[in-house]
Structures are given as structure tokens and as C-alpha cells.
Amino acid sequence: MRINIRYGKGFKSVDLSENTLVLKKPETRPIKDPFDEIKKSLQSPISSKPLIDIAKGKRSACVVVSDTTRPVPNAIILPPLIETLEQAGIRDEDITILIATGTHDPVPEHMFEELLGRDTLMHRIKIINHNAYDDSMIVDLGKGAYECPALINKIYAESDLKICTGLIEPHFMAGFSGGRKSICPGITGIETLKVFHSVDAMGHPLSKSCSLNGNPVDEMARSVAKIAGCDFMVNVSLDDQRRITGIFSGDLFKAHEAGCEFVSDHSIVVINKEADVVITSNGGYPLDQNYYQTAKGLVEASEIVKKDGFIIMASECKFGFGKPSFRNLMIELKEKGTKAFLDAHRTSQTFESDQWEVQEFTKVFEKTKNILLLSSLNKSDQELTFAKPIKSLNEGIKITTKLMKDPFIVAIPEGPYVVGRIKN
């Protein structure tokens, strides 16, 4: 049978045996009129007053949005939200859209329309990239769980009305994206991120997809978000065609919890045994825009592959390997090995901003080093991936079937948007 695996803005096909187990989300009906349903959610939110009632009398508003690494349908979410703020009496020039970059690079202005939608740009609204390294943009609001500093973007902290938007999906360390993550790590200072992305937090066994209870990463994010405050949240869930399947507006924590429950029911797929081969993707664009982000799909695949089994990964990496700092850390990992690398970055004094993503790669390598990668990376970048390059997914299948007799193959066309779990 032929399977289409997400790759960039399209797909790559692979021919697999009929015995292949294909993991897909349980079917969910997309919302027929998402524009109208977004409006209704602002009027009848979860555990909250309607947005217009909250906004009345406020002089300024800050709307936090995800950066270009998340396929959030901002073109649908933002216009009715901004219209509601205007109806409440907040002027366009007093509204700021704050892009939650965390430690990612800023979103260039030429990508604002792709990120936010043309209708959003028609308003006279300030659009600002958060900068975790700029102390002039940060205010200190105290400390959260695990002594995590609550260093928050100044514009957000000083706005009369604080709104967070985003996408709820499985997240390989925080359990789920969305909600509190818009604030922490989205708009925090680097000293916050040193604790949030620390070796100990990342290495905790409950810091994984669809895991919230006892997850220190979630606990830190929630505590910092509570200190920073949020007046209203609008999050959505998506299906495999990026259509909206759920809208969760209202209280930052209650609405997010409802969304996480919904996404969990529609993302986790239980299988009977580990796979000899997992063929997967990094979810396509924008998540597979570089190798840095590819850790997400690899981590999820490693959860269901046998020790020293094979992972065949399709990740376009249109924008290359990742930031120079990430490249340098991967070189360091290659030179030192996992234990020495993690020991070298265990304290806040030795912390480097992209070390946590490298640590996620080490989790994969502990399970297997047999990784076959289909990408557009150049040769020098490819040499730092810890993976063997392939020219097609069918080439990857041929390699594995030559080495193993009748392997049990699991295919995950959507990559990290589907979470496999082994039946107890």
C-alpha cells in the first residue's frame, strides 16, 4: 500500500506492506464555520466572563501569538478577537500583538502576513517579537515552582488586558502545547528559561507528551503563568488537514484543561508491541522547517521503537540545520558523548539556550542510533544529524528490510501530532 508522509508543505510517498500498522488520530469532525464558532466562544467562554465584558474599560491590550513554528490559524482567530476589543472601546493603536518566540529567532516582518493573516495586518496594531535576551523588555515578578524566576515581557506585564492565543497539541516535554506555554516559555527572560529548560527538568521521566500530572515542566509553566496573569485565552485544536476541530476560549487554566482532555482523546493511539521500524515525519511545515525542530518527531518515534530499531524520518529542513548555537552544541555532543555533554550544562552558569533541544536528541540516541533521514540538508549539516541520509522513503524501507526479516513496521504520517503508546 502507498502512504503519504507529511514533508514540508506537501507529502512524500512510500510503498509499504499491507501488514504495516498506520497510526492516525481518531477521526474528528472539523468545525463547519470556524469564524462563527470563534465569535461564539468569545461570547460564551469556559469558566470566564465574555471577552467584551472583560475588555470594557481597559485602555490597552496585549495579544500573545505563537511564532512561525506552530501552524496556528491566526487568520481565523485574530480578526473576531480584535473586533471584540474594538467594540469594547480599545483603540487599534493601543493593541499590541506580541510574538512568543521563547529562545527562537524573531519572526521577520515579511512573514507577518503568513503568520497573522492579511485581515489582521489591516488594523493599526503594533506587532513585536519578544526577545528573551533583552533585559530592557523584561520585568521581574517573583518566582514560581522549582524556584523558576517569573521574568516576563514588560509590554505584556504592563498591559491592562492580557490575552493568550495558540494551538493545543501533544508536546514532547510539556505534555501539551498552548495555554500557559504562551507565557512560559513564550514571553519569559533567559534566566527563566535556564530553569525551565534545565537538564533536570528535561530529563524527568514525566516530561513527555500528553503527560501533565507530576510533569515539572508543566508545573513551572503553570506557576509562572499564574504570577504573570492572563485575562482570557483562545486556543484551538486541528485535524490532519489543519482544520479546526475544537475551540477552547476563556480561563487560561480551565479552558486549557478542557482542550488538553479533548486533544488527548484524539491524539493517543495504543499499540500492542514496539516496532522494529517506525517511519514518520516531523509534521510537515512549519514544524519541519529545520533540524532543530526535528527532535519532536524523533522523540515520539523513539517511544514506540524497539531498542536499536530503526527510525525513518522525513523532515524537509527547508531553512537548514538551525541556529549557530544549536550547531555548536551538536558538535559538542558529537565530541563529548551524552553524559559528559549533560554534565557540562547542568548548572545555570553553564546553561546554553539550545541545550535542551540537544538533550531531547540524546533521549532518541539512547534508544537507537539507527536513524535514516530524508531531508534537504546540505552535506555539512547532514554530518551533524547523527543520521544516515536517504534520497527517498522507499530507500529507507529497502535498507531496513534487507537487515531484518519480516520487520514489524509502524507508520506515523503526521509525526509528533500523533502519540503512540505501548499497551501495558
Whether 197 sits among the annotated catalytic residues: the reply is no
Give me the catalytic one of 130, 171, 266, 345. Answer: 171
Whether 171 sits among the annotated catalytic residues: the reply is yes
CA 224 – CA 193 distance, rounded (Å): 11
- Identify how many contiguous H helices and E strands the chain contains and give both numbers: 16, 20
Can you tell me which residue has the cell 470566564? 48
Q: Indicate the DSSP class of residue 418.
A: S
Q: Indicate the DSSP class of residue 145.
A: G
Tell me which H or E stretch contains 309. Answer: strand 305-314
CA 405 – CA 416 distance, rounded (Å): 27
**For the purposes of burial, counting CB atoms within 10 Å of the CB of 406, is it exposed (0-12), middle (13-18) or buried (19 or more)?**
exposed
Whether the bond between 26 and the residue before it is cis, its omega within 30 degrees of 0, is no
Half-sphere exposure of residue 176: CA atoms within 13 angstroms, side-chain side = 29
Can you tell me which residue has the cell 485544536? 237
In 3-state terms the chain splits into helix, strand, coil percentages (rounded to 5) of 40, 25, 40
285: phi then psi, degrees, rounded to nearest 5: -70, 140
Alpha-carbon torsion angle 52, 55, 56, 60, nearest 10: -150
Give me the catalytic one of 104, 130, 197, 345. Answer: 104
Q: Can you read off the three cell numbers belonging to residue 311?
A: 527510525
CA 307 – CA 164 distance, rounded (Å): 40
Tell me which H or E stretch contains 13. Answer: strand 10-15
Can you tell me which residue has the cell 485581515? 119
Taking residue 369's Cβ as centre, other Cβ atoms within 10 Å add up to 12
DSSP string for residues in 363-417:
HHHHH--EEEEE----HHHHTTTTSEE-S-HHHHHHHHHHHSSS--EEEETTGGG
Taking residue 387's Cβ as centre, other Cβ atoms within 10 Å add up to 24
CA 67 – CA 98 distance, rounded (Å): 9
Q: Can you read off the three cell numbers belonging to residue 279?
A: 517511519
Active site residues: 104, 171
